[in-house]
Structure 1
Amino acid sequence: MEPVSPRGDGARSPQALDARLDAGSFRDPESRVFYAAGEVLRVLSREGLEDFNAFASTRLFARTQEDGRVVRTERVDDWRSLDLPLVKEPAAVLRHERVPFVSYPYEWPFSMLKDAALLQLGLLQEALAEGLTLKDASPYNVQFVGSRPTFVDVGSFERLRPGETWTAYRQFCMLFLYPLLLQALRRVPYQPLLRGAIDGIDPLHMRSLLPLRDRLRRGVFTHVTLHARLQARYADRAGEIRSSLNRQLQDRELQRRLLEANVRKMQRLVERLRWQPPRGVWVAYGERNTYTDEDTQLKERFVEEAAGARRRRLVWDLGCNNGRYARIAARHADYVVALDADQGPVELLYRDLREEGEERILPLVVNLADPSPGLGWRGAERKPLWERGRPDLVLALALIHHVAITANVPVREFLGWLWSLGGELVIEFPTRDDPMVRKLLSGKREGLHPDYQLERFERELGEFFEVDRRLELPSGTRVLYAARPRGAGAEATRLIASSADSDG
């Protein structure tokens, strides 16, 4: 999309029929996102339009549109037939370039969240130099196009009001800084905490999660210990304190210099934070299996032929590990989402993709046995994984034994879920003689997982999918299948409904 004049010269008109508000954008009444005719649009109030015009007239706007740090945006001319339940009277509509696949911070490995934080701080620093600020500091305002972070909340830019401090400081701490600190200092994964609280980690809670020696660290003392202490002492006087600060910061130049200094200090703190996956993850950053070279070559060729049969819009690589097969699929698809439950290999994959400048593969931390649910108000602010874009092709390689044996998900249940996604499938079945399967079963009581048998798997796979190709690898313990989903008629629907209590 080419950015256009903020006046809307030459911009196209939206199809406002069947316009639908985004369930996660209601928190800012000046700027609401909605969808119409397959496009992502934003309606602005009068004040929101004034702020956007101020942003669009700056060199920062042109610069970030060119380098992709801010989502491509254009004005829409003919929007007055718009009929949406808005809090404020609409004054203008913007059109945004679509993100290939929406992801959330509780699905990002450490370096993705850190890069999103540095993008937010960098934009704020540049905005202050233009007399602007960012009213929000939320990682939900950032989306990744492959390995490139992109700021998508254009409505967050606003004119810097006299006397204002960094109003989004607390939000930045709760949603960016504290999760990063927990992972860097305590090696505590932040993903479950962010998934459990859409507003992030409260300062008082953060302080209680850190031992005394960490609370006294440089930066941590200011942003955690002191922050929590001030919150506990002055929570009931927040408005009074803010009014006092506003009176003291009426000098615009002093105000800007103080804000810039605070942002620079936060940038340095975030830049210093480091996390390395456990050594075992580095050693195993490759396929965690016992393939022979011949097996590997045949498997790669099988995936290449299946993925290359036709161009795909979206591919999911489930249990992606080092992204070997995601890269193969990316040669034949517009976009690939690479998922793994283990943050370590996803972290390493992201670093490699970032180094390469790869924008067609999005790596995410997702446990398929406990995937990202709907969150927020009415469970609709953040969408479940499968509501953000259905794949045309799913790769499920070296995966089913982990789902069925480790997570105790019945094989039929897993196949039914794969079928419900609606895409074609490349799946690998390691038999009970496979070394990895034997290892997983060794910790289980004898007689468990009777459904994990090759013959039964093939029978149940055939109920959901039409198998086009089957290949047994030379090692004799792994079989590959390329398949198409059977029609979504009444019988297939019955299979899904009955899968939970079926005995096969």
Structure 2
Amino acid sequence: MLRHPASYRDPSGFIYQDNGEYFRQINPSYFKEYHAIKNSNVYDQLWKKNWLIYHEEISVTSDKITLKPTQLNFLTYPYEWSFTAYKHAAQLTLRMQMFLLEKGFSLKDASAFNITFNNGKAVFIDTLSIEKYRDKEPWKGLKQFNEHFFAPLLLAQQHGSYYLKTLQHRINGFPLDEAAKLLSWKTKLSPTIYSHIYYLGKQKNDSIGEVSTSIPSKGLDKVSQIKMLKTLEMYISKMSLKENTEWSAYYKQTNYIDQAFTYKKDLIKNWNSTLNTKKIIDLGGNNGTFSKIVLPDANQVIVSDIDQSAIDDCYISNIKNKETQIIPMVTDLMQPAASIGFNNEERDSFVSRVQSFSPDLSMALALIHHLTLSGNVPFEMSASFFKSLSTYLIIEFPDRQDSWVQFILKSKRDAIELFDDYNLTNFENSYKKHYSIIKKEVIKGSHRTLYLMKRNER
């Protein structure tokens, strides 16, 4: 039994791994709460709504109860969500709390790490974060909700999507007093923002990470608390982030002619169909256009891109089309999420999670010139990186005549001669040290070549 290093804060129980599967142990201190929730059919109702991760009760003894939750292939963290996904995670937390209040229960906390995404939608994964509601007791998690959700969303809306990455370097959330200083003075005129950011920002907890009881819900009855939370949920539902980037409209301004774009799609679809892939990662996948090409051959596809707006488009499209097999996430491959938390073990790094996911195929389309020319990553290093992720690689190489390559090279000005080694021959020679080239096709009507490679296992 290997206890999960992030599962140590709640004495009610913990998550552990056994033979590659995850289980949750419930300690005797939580037995009464657990049986009350179970006997009230709250779990069943939350499962029916697809709000809470499903679990199966494996065993019950006098000293522990063992649950087996639905096994998730891949977890994304809050700092990898797009704006709309972040909003939906916030709304789910509030809806959970309102629903539980109606049933006589409450959430113990409101950590954004209680949420991940499964089958295309946000899902609550901390089964033990539910307790009995006590009359007129304020919601313990309200201040934490604002630190983990509301403040980052407000700051992102006003100053840019960078603030959605708050929890990557501030694992306990964004301090509300600091958030208040960064917001426009006009936000004080909003009753919702004033009460949840400015007022709560004046309340100091005795220790970091504790929930606050000096909150606007103090002394309010259950009905009034629900009304307050509904107002907050409605405010968040109307929030938007209008952030235009060069990549959000990439496929509208691409240098491909239509025939070349179609040819590229056909190549990728045909090549993938011969590989019997089940899990794929699309690195630099923009809005997921090519990820959708490899479905339904694959069971699950991770789409990662540095561009928040493009990933948000992917996420919204998945919701609209009820696409459940694509996992969109915001990732900068030049500085992917590192392992964080106590002893750097609470939240796994992007790379380690992808390696555990163990994709059959990695796709790196229109990516290598950005890594090599913008990021100064040598071919040898990018080849080694891709090799560590999957057996197969579909990679696209734009040559020096490609318009995007020309644009990047011109931006180098006096240093352009440092990139003389950016050419097809050097690319192939470097990658052949790690891969065997199975297929190679020039994309007709472009200055790009598409490769299908297989990792050398020696």
TM-score range, shorter chain: over 0.9
Pairing partner for 2:27 from 38, 45, 49:
45
Query: Match for residue 46 of structure 2?
Result: 64
Does 2:453 correspond to 1:479?
no
Matched letter for residue 45 of structure 1:
N
Quote how far apart the aligned CAs of 1:53 are: 1.8
Q: Does residue 10 of structure 2 align to residue 28 of structure 1? A: yes
Pair 1:54-2:22 in alignment: no
Q: Which secondary structure state, in structure 1, belongs to the residue aligned with residue 278 of structure 2? A: strand
Q: Partner residue of 1:215?
A: 188
Among 349, 360, 377, the residue aligned to 2:342: 377
Aligned to 1:403, which of 371, 383, 408?
A: 371
> How far did 1:281 drift?
5.6
Q: CA deviation at 1:244?
A: 12
- What's 1:75 paired with? 57
SS at match of 1:133: strand
**Residues 456-491 of structure 1: CA distance to partner in whole angstroms, max 9, x if unpaired?**
00111111011110001123510010011001x4xx
Note the alpha carbon deviations across 1:334-355, whole angstroms, 9 max, x for none.
1000001010111111111111
Aligned equivalents of 2:215, 2:332: Cα separation in 1: 47
Identify the match of residue 93 of structure 1 among 62, 66, 70.
66
Please name the residue that 2:396 is paired with. Answer: 428
The 3-state SS of whatever aligns with 2:76 is: coil
Asked whether the 8 Å contact 2:16–2:22 carries over to 1, the reply is yes
Structure 2 counterpart of 1:349, from 314, 318, 332: 314
- Relative to structure 1, is the Cα distance of residues 60 and 463 closer, same or farther in structure 2, using a 3 angstrom cutoff? same
Deviation at 1:64, TM superposition (A): 2.1
Note the C-alpha offset of 1:434.
0.6
| Other-structure match for 2:95 | 122
What is the alpha-carbon distance in structure 1 between the residues aligned to residue 362 and residue 37 of structure 2? 41
CA displacement, residues 293-314 of structure 1 (integer Å, 9 cap, x when unaligned): 2211221111112221233232
Partner-residue secondary structure (3-state), 1:189:
helix
Match of residue 423 from structure 2: 453
Query: In the alignment, what sits opposite 2:110?
Result: 137
Q: Does 1:317 align with 2:290?
A: no
Corresponding letter in the other structure for 1:266: L
Per-residue deviation, 1:163: 4.9
Select 1:416's aligned residue among 384, 389, 393: 384
> What is the SS of the residue equivalent to 2:300?
strand
Where 2:304 maps in the other structure, the secondary structure is strand
What letter is aligned with 1:442?
Answer: K
Shift of 1:264: 1.7
Residue 422 of structure 1: how far off its partner (Å): 3.2
AA of the residue aligned to 1:421: L
2: CA distance, partners of 1:416 / 1:329: 24
CA distance in 2, matches of 1:416, 1:309: 24
Partner Cα distance (1:244, 1:375) in 2:
29
Distance in 2 between the 1:242 and 1:294 partners? 62
Is 1:100–1:145's contact at 8 Å kept on the other side of the alignment? no
Question: Which residue of structure 2 aligns with residue 496 of structure 1?
Answer: none
| Superposed CA offset, 1:98-144 (max 9, x none) | 12210001000000010011111111111111111110211211111
Asked whether 1:299 is paired with 2:269, we answer no
Decide which structure has the larger Cα Rg and report it.
1
Q: In the comparison of the two structures, how many residue pairs are matched?
A: 451
The answer to whether the Cα contact below 8 Å between 1:215 and 1:224 also exists between their aligned partners in 2 is no
RMSD: 2.4
The answer as to 2:437 corresponding to 1:464 is no
Deviation of residue 215 (structure 1)?
A: 3.4
**Any idea what SS the aligned residue of 1:113 has?**
helix
Match of 1:178 in 2: 151
What is the rounded CA distance, in whole Å, between the counterparts of 1:286 and 1:334 in structure 2? 25
Q: For the structure 1 residues 406 and 112, does the alpha-carbon distance in structure 2 shift closer, same or farther, using more than 3 Å as the test? A: same
Does structure 1 conserve the Cα–Cα contact (< 8 Å) formed by 2:27 and 2:64?
yes
Task: Tell me which of 223, 228, 245 is aligned to 1:262.
Answer: 228
> Could you say if the C-alpha distance between residues 196 and 387 of structure 1 is closer, same or farther in structure 2, counting changes exceeding 3 Å?
same
Q: Does residue 192 of structure 1 match 2:160?
A: no
Shift of the 454–287 alpha-carbon distance from structure 1 to 2, 3 Å rule, reads farther
**Structure 1 match to 2:406:** 438
Among all aligned residue pairs of Structure 1 and Structure 2, give the percentage whose two residues are the same amino acid. 26
Structure 2 CA distance for partners of 1:188 and 1:476, relative to 1, 3 Å: closer
Output the CA distance in 2 between the equivalents of 1:266 and 1:300: 44
Distance 2:179 2:216 in 1: 26
User: Which stretch shows the higher mean deviation, 51-60 or 165-174?
Assistant: 51-60
Q: Separation in 1 of the partners of 2:216 and 2:318?
A: 44
Residue 172 of structure 1 and its aligned partner are, at CA, apart by 0.2
The alpha-carbon deviation at position 46 of structure 1 amounts to: 1.3
Q: Does 1:276 align with 2:280?
A: no
Q: Which runs of 5+ in 2 are unaligned?
A: none
Find the residue that maps to 2:24 and give its secondary structure. strand
Against the structure 1 CA distance between its residues 279 and 456, is the aligned structure 2 distance closer, same or farther, given a 3 Å change threshold? Answer: closer
Question: Can you list the C-alpha shifts for 1:184-210, whole angstroms capped at 9, x where unaligned?
Answer: 233352233221111110011111211
**Bigger mean CA offset, 266-275 vs 37-46:** 266-275
Q: Which amino acid aligns with 2:103?
A: E
Residue 329 of structure 1 deviates from its aligned partner by: 1.9
* 4+ long deviations beyond 6 Å: 243-246
Counterpart Cα distance in 1 of 2:446 and 2:133: 67
Q: How does the TM-score come out when normalised to structure 1?
A: 0.84
Q: Which deviates more from structure 2 when the two are superposed, residues 50-59 or residues 472-481? A: 50-59
- Verify the 8 A CA contact 2:367 2:396 in the aligned structure 1: yes
Cα distance in 2 for partners of 1:245, 1:353 equals 36
Answer with 55-64 or 424-433: which moved more. 55-64
Helix, strand or coil for the counterpart of 1:161?
Answer: coil
State the AA in 2 paired with 1:340.
D
TM-fit CA distance, 1:90: 4.5
Change (3 A) 1:371 1:90: farther
CA–CA separation in structure 1 for the residues paired with 2:40 and 2:420: 65
* SS of corresponding position for 1:475: coil
Residue identity opposite 1:392 in structure 2: D
**Code of the aligned partner of 2:268:** V
TM-score normalised to the size of structure 2? 0.93
